[in-house]
Chains A and B, each alone.
Chain A
């Protein structure tokens, strides 16, 4: 989910993904190289992401990954599911926040 989110706005290379995930999770998730590569292998195999292009920067070859159509669909569905959960949580919290108050001495 974090990886798909990191690719939602623009294609990114490996280290760019590590930095983006760190930012999205507010420093809670620090993905290591091998773990990132394992996840990329899986998402590529599932067809959720694709290799956008390969480039050479400072003499080092790197791949740039992008969200595939299937990945965009999965991310949209998961976002919708989370939005529904958040809306329900907010509704229930708001319902609890407003207690029913009766004027003193009043009996319905």
Chain B
């Protein structure tokens, strides 16, 4: 990579910053970049440029570490990995649940589905171990293939079961949205707030246990349907957890807000099927999410009003 290529790379990375911010900080950012990459190889320069671009994107989207949204994401990132790790193990077990019509056949796509489902828990558990030990670069590097594998799941299932395509369509969007959301939470969290997990170990263990419990309840429901509210009652538990997390969240309770963000993909995955077609359990879950979101938003609005300086009038 020539010096010219490196400059072009930096100019590309700086384009992600808001114009006003770039005008103010471009010279300094360029100076730091040039000094930091003077002995670096092409890969090092590329990584440095991606880091600058990431900073720009966070500034543009209000997800910087100086903003509350960024601080919530930093709390959510380890918990999102914990939820995804629990979910990937549950997904694997789900394939062998009685009456599961999408158990892969012996065809090549079917085998690929099984391999994919086997690889996902490995990648997510490795990412969780990396988060646990504070190795965020490794964790984020593992989250990318784990997310892609989860997204590939749908085309593989469709290839394995061309006849069952109709049954899979409603959940098709979820198969893409859920992993994308989880991956986005982990990758968008500001790196400077993702230091050593130390104090977050308890939260990571708690969230993993919670995710395993929720998925286990759904799996158990397949074998022993819960009499109250029909066979899909346990799916609404995710909405309940989101509602509690939203009600507990606040400016000084970023961990609860982080938990709400972390479980949101799980809520989507479990609750949307209850709304299509709308079931009584689905209506209750939806009501829980809407009410808790409204309370949380109202509280945030009141805080903003209180914090705003009185007008000159």
| Chain A interface residues (CB < 8 Å from chain B) | 14-15, 18, 31-39, 41-42, 44-46, 60-63
CB pair A32 B51 closer than 8 Å: yes
Which single member of B31, B34, B35, B65 contacts A41 (CB below 8 Å)? B65
Q: Which of B52-60, B142-150, B220-228 makes up part of the contact surface?
A: B52-60
Which single member of B28, B34, B36, B66 contacts A32 (CB below 8 Å)? B36
Residues from chain B with a CB closer than 8 A to the CB of A36 are 32, 192
Which single member of A38, A44, A62 contacts B55 (CB below 8 Å)? A38
Residues from chain A with a CB closer than 8 A to the CB of B31 are 14-15, 60-62
CB pair B25 A33 closer than 8 Å: no
Residues from chain B with a CB closer than 8 A to the CB of A31 are 192
| B282 contacts A by Cβ under 8 Å | no
Contact size range, B: 20 to 34
Interface of chain B residues 214 through 234 with chain A (CB within 8 A):
none
CB pair B36 A33 closer than 8 Å: yes
| B47 contacts A by Cβ under 8 Å | yes
How far, in whole Å, are A33 and B49 apart by their CA atoms in the complex?
Answer: 8
Which single member of B25, B34, B35, B193 contacts A37 (CB below 8 Å)? B25
Whether A42 touches B36, Cβ cut-off 8 Å, given contacts A34-B51, A61-B31, is: no
Contact sample, A vs B, 17 pairs, CB 8 Å cutoff: A15-B31, A18-B32, A31-B192, A32-B48, A32-B52, A34-B52, A34-B53, A34-B55, A34-B56, A34-B191, A36-B192, A38-B64, A38-B66, A38-B191, A42-B65, A61-B28, A63-B28
In the assembled complex, the CB of A20 is this many whole angstroms from the nearest CB of chain B, namely 13
Residues from chain B with a CB closer than 8 A to the CB of A44 are 66
Whether A15 touches B36, Cβ cut-off 8 Å, given contacts A37-B55, A38-B191, is: yes
In the assembled complex, the CB of A105 is this many whole angstroms from the nearest CB of chain B, namely 48
- Interface of chain B, main secondary structure: helix
CB pair B54 A34 closer than 8 Å: yes
Residues from chain B with a CB closer than 8 A to the CB of A38 are 55, 58, 64-66, 190-192
In the assembled complex, the CB of A42 is this many whole angstroms from the nearest CB of chain B, namely 4
Which single member of A18, A46, A62 contacts B28 (CB below 8 Å)? A62
| Known pairs A34-B191, A60-B31, A61-B27 / 6 extra A-B pairs, C-beta < 8 Å | A34-B51, A35-B55, A35-B190, A39-B65, A62-B27, A62-B31
Which single member of B28, B34, B48, B66 contacts A42 (CB below 8 Å)? B66
| B173 contacts A by Cβ under 8 Å | no
Contact with A along B59-82 (1 / 0, CB 8 A): 100001110000000000000000
Task: Report which residue of A32, A36, A44 has the largest number of chain B beta carbons within 10 angstroms of its beta carbon.
Answer: A32
Give me the 5 closest cross-chain CB pairs, A-B, nearest first: A34-B55, A34-B51, A39-B192, A32-B51, A15-B35
How far, in whole Å, are A63 and B64 apart by their CA atoms in the complex?
Answer: 20
Residues from chain B with a CB closer than 8 A to the CB of A60 are 27, 30-31, 34
| B19 contacts A by Cβ under 8 Å | no
| B108 contacts A by Cβ under 8 Å | no
